[in-house]
Structure 1
Amino acid sequence: MDDRRRYDRATAHLDPPFAILDLAALRSNASGMIQRAHGKPIRVASKSIRSRPVLERILAMDGFAGIMAFTLPEALWLVSTGLRDVLVAYPTTDRAALAELAADTRAAQEITVMVDRAEHLDFIDSAIADVRDRREIRICLDIDAGFVALGGKFRAGARRSPIREADQAADLAADIAKRPGFRLVGVMAYEAQIAGVGDNPPGNLAFTQAIRWMQAQSRRELIARRGRVVQAVTQITDLEFVNGGGTGSIEKTVREKAITEVAAGSGFFHPRLFDFYRGFTGRPAALFALPVVRRPAPGVITVLGGGYHASGAPGADRLPQPYLPCGLRYDPDEGAGEVQTPLLGQATDDLRVGDRVWFRHAKAGELCERFASLHLIDGDEIVEEVPTYRGEGRTFL
């Protein structure tokens, strides 16, 4: 039975819009990621999942350990539900959450916060100044892993930390060591230009070759620089972990001696943007269904909703992909609409009012910001309905 028939059959009693998670595809994707990690643990990036029960399912599998959260309030909530070892991947300025962290023994033991400059430490001290019996705050240093060339005129990679070199990292590590109430436990460096950029995009061959050249140069530069940073920091304090990489770079990042763990999230759901890598092939696991509500003309249908644009630089690649049935495309004059979305193509001839069209989101976790639950499908039946963060009333961003 093909996927469209399976999904239609399993959800026949539901009225779209709704979202599903194919558990067989999820397991297959997770297995592939574990093989690529060659024995090093994978920390699960929660921003790509955004469903607590799904996070729990993944962490129950061998090969996955710890969570990479995106906000401190999220981390506090996850720990309050029993989850452990949560690294907040981005600096926080949430004063109330910092005060809660400093006052809660278990949270302080399980949560690590991110800094990339002394100003972050000053802010934390100020936010928790009134906390009695303050707990020690676990700290991770964020290192810039971007690729810079041509004397700084060219850059690839996310603009994250101001810390690039070993001496800068050592200076901040020494500052942390001198401050009471802080303990440096980790280093993180995320190479977005490798992990988050497909090296086999469709279209322009010259562009593809440029990406591959950039990534090869970046890998060589980062292996040496990240190694120097870790060596410099470990001369000041013992580290519990050194985190790097992402779904698109697992098998490359784990080769580095300095790396003790990799992070990954998008690979579990395998959204559209992750179709364009040579090193791995995943199965679309998370999809959403929209109903056909109009047939305005031959070769045209209209579905309800659909304007679920992904974050990042604006472009057609940030739109959801009309996935099943095959052969549907957007009207270039309308795109994905706020309330309704027209679709064109030969496949429209076989669709009637009330039928459903299956879409893939361009990115992973943002899909769950649109739906209160995920219907978990195994084979051709729904085995469970689980809440997303939104479904549990949690709106962290």
Structure 2
Amino acid sequence: MIKSPHPYGQYAEQCAGLQAPLACLNLDLLEQNAQEVLRRAGGKPVRIATKSIRSLEVLRYVSRLSPRFQGLMCYSPWEAAALAQAGFDDVLLGYPTMDAAALSELAKYSVRAHHVTLMADGLEQLQLAETIGRQEGACFAICLDVDMSSSLYGIHFGVRRSPLRTVEETLRLAEYIRRSPSLRLRGVMGYEAQMAGVADRVPGATMMNTIVRHLKRRSGKDIQERRSRIVQALSAEGHELAFVNGGGTGSLGFTAADASVTEVTAGSAFFNPALFDHYAGLRLYPAASFALPVVRIPKQGIYTCFGGGYVASGKAGKDKYPRPIWPECGILLPNEGAGEVQTPVQYPEAGSGVSLQTGDWIWFRHAKAGELCERFRELHVVKGGVRIGTWSTYRGEGWCFG
């Protein structure tokens, strides 16, 4: 939960003279979030999830904050190539790919002093990588993605990701990799999305919170047992793993406590989008936000902003809307939400003390971390109460990875 006072009133002064819409990153709050990540990770290394950040300069900044921030997890093969080209030497592709052209590009980095590791959970992915590796004279490092979802009370608790669930299935793919001169097994990932990505402290949802926490406890035991069995079986068959990866912002403490895991992943924690306000035990601060200008006032207490339709991905719902946070007490209109071109924000007629004019700004937080930087070319960076400059986002670099 947010513990710090809102800094948005200061942002208006720090960003005076700039043109909105704009996005802002507070490095003091980001650093506090980074310390919370390290605390919850115990003594284990933390791999940074790039999809939640999408800015080269922010990735470099976070990487320098502690020697325990080791490596990146990216979401696109073309992104992996771009990050390797930018100088990052340990890049894990977090999702499988069937993009032959991208694999040909990545083959360049498999023969250099880079660790670009592909993700796989099926034979077809391995066969394509093997074919490209043979053509390019490369040997691809592979990480096997093992499903960590649970079946509880007839409910699929988790997400539909990898088809790899059992020891036997995992060993079969590992053996295929061992027999191929173009592939080598480097790691295993078991991402427990139902632990990392499901809030369990949502205001006004006491019964659902209780149910989710119960499901998490039941699922947690299953996750640890299955992940441990798979890692032990691979070791018994002579497979040497450089890493066993797991976790996300919402499950850092749980995953770090698993003896079979050698590193955890975090991304959203550094920006702390609005969805992560409702996780038990997390002490994070709102480091990233964006401002929209008021362009008209259709009625007293309603201020219509330009833009704002930055709705987060995932299951559709009001929790995926951006949240107006400064001035306080603003709400989105239920019949309009956040619009592609305009977003009306309503304030109570009495009690809020808010009186805005056209040209004034309303500050928002995005529901999820990753898509924020897809909307802006740059982040206005604040540290020590002073705006110190701008950092490019992927969009500002001209990058679009889908």
Task: Check whether TM > 0.5.
Answer: yes
* TM-fit CA distance, 1:4: 2.3
Cα distance per residue 1:333-384 (max 9 Å; x no partner): 1111111111111348411111100000000010000000001101332112
Cα distance per residue 1:319-344 (max 9 Å; x no partner): 00001111001111111111111111
- Aligned 1:69-80 pairs, distance under 5 A: 69-80=74-85
Change (3 A) 1:199 1:2: closer
- Pick one of 138, 141, 144 that aligns with 2:144: 141
Task: For residue 239 of structure 1, give the secondary structure of its aligned residue in structure 2.
Answer: coil
Cα distance per residue 1:277-304 (max 9 Å; x no partner): 1111210011000001111111111000
Question: How many percent of aligned residue pairs carry the same amino acid?
Answer: 45
Does residue 294 of structure 2 align to residue 289 of structure 1? no
* TM-fit CA distance, 1:64: 0.7
* TM-fit CA distance, 1:59: 0.5
Give the Cα separation in 2 of the matches to 1:106 and 1:292.
53
Task: For residue 386 of structure 1, give the secondary structure of its aligned residue in structure 2.
Answer: strand
CA contact (8 A) 1:241 1:260 kept: yes
- Pick one of 60, 64, 72 that aligns with 1:60: 64
In angstroms, what is the RMSD of aligned CA positions?
Answer: 1.4
- Pick one of 31, 46, 51 that aligns with 2:55: 51
Q: Give the match for residue 219 of structure 1.
A: 220
Residue 53 of structure 1 aligns with an amino acid whose one-letter code is E
- Aligned 1:1-397 pairs, distance under 5 A: 3-62=7-66, 63-106=68-111, 109-131=114-136, 134-150=137-153, 153-236=154-237, 237-346=239-348, 347=352, 349-397=354-402
Give the Cα separation in 2 of the matches to 1:120 and 1:283.
39
* TM-fit CA distance, 1:173: 0.8
* TM-fit CA distance, 1:180: 1.6
Give the Cα separation in 2 of the matches to 1:108 and 1:32.
32
Give the Cα separation in 2 of the matches to 1:358 and 1:107.
45
CA contact (8 A) 1:298 1:349 kept: no
CA contact (8 A) 1:11 1:381 kept: no
Task: For residue 88 of structure 2, give the secondary structure of its aligned residue in structure 1.
Answer: coil
CA contact (8 A) 1:45 1:67 kept: yes
Cα distance per residue 1:127-175 (max 9 Å; x no partner): 45532xx12100000000111124xx31111111111111211121111
CA contact (8 A) 1:30 1:267 kept: yes
Task: For residue 350 of structure 1, give the secondary structure of its aligned residue in structure 2.
Answer: coil
Give the Cα separation in 1 of the matches to 2:111 and 2:390.
30
Residue 138 of structure 2 aligns with an amino acid whose one-letter code is R
Task: For residue 98 of structure 1, give the secondary structure of its aligned residue in structure 2.
Answer: helix
Residue 244 of structure 1 aligns with an amino acid whose one-letter code is G
Cα distance per residue 1:5-54 (max 9 Å; x no partner): 21111101201001010011100000111011111011000000000000
Give the Cα separation in 1 of the matches to 2:197 and 2:329.
27
CA contact (8 A) 2:44 2:263 kept: yes
Residue 277 of structure 1 aligns with an amino acid whose one-letter code is Y
Give the Cα separation in 2 of the matches to 1:4 and 1:245.
31
* TM-fit CA distance, 1:95: 1.1
Change (3 A) 1:312 1:126: same
Cα distance per residue 1:87-144 (max 9 Å; x no partner): 000001121111122244456841000000111111223445532xx12100000000
Change (3 A) 1:119 1:8: same
Change (3 A) 1:104 1:245: closer
CA contact (8 A) 2:133 2:182 kept: no
CA contact (8 A) 1:301 1:343 kept: yes
Number of equivalent positions:
393
Give the Cα separation in 1 of the matches to 2:109 and 2:318.
45
Give the Cα separation in 1 of the matches to 2:172 and 2:259.
23
Give the Cα separation in 2 of the matches to 1:106 and 1:384.
37
Give the Cα separation in 2 of the matches to 1:9 and 1:358.
13
CA contact (8 A) 1:108 1:136 kept: no
Residue range with higher mean Cα deviation, 252-261 or 100-109: 100-109
CA contact (8 A) 2:48 2:72 kept: yes
Give the Cα separation in 1 of the matches to 2:176 and 2:235.
14
* Structure 2 unaligned spans of 5+: none
Cα distance per residue 1:188-232 (max 9 Å; x no partner): 011010111111112222111110000000111111111001011
Residue range with higher mean Cα deviation, 25-34 or 347-356: 347-356
* Structure 1 unaligned spans of 5+: none
Residue 260 of structure 1 aligns with an amino acid whose one-letter code is T
Residue 373 of structure 2 aligns with an amino acid whose one-letter code is C
Give the Cα separation in 2 of the matches to 1:392 and 1:366.
15
CA contact (8 A) 1:328 1:348 kept: no
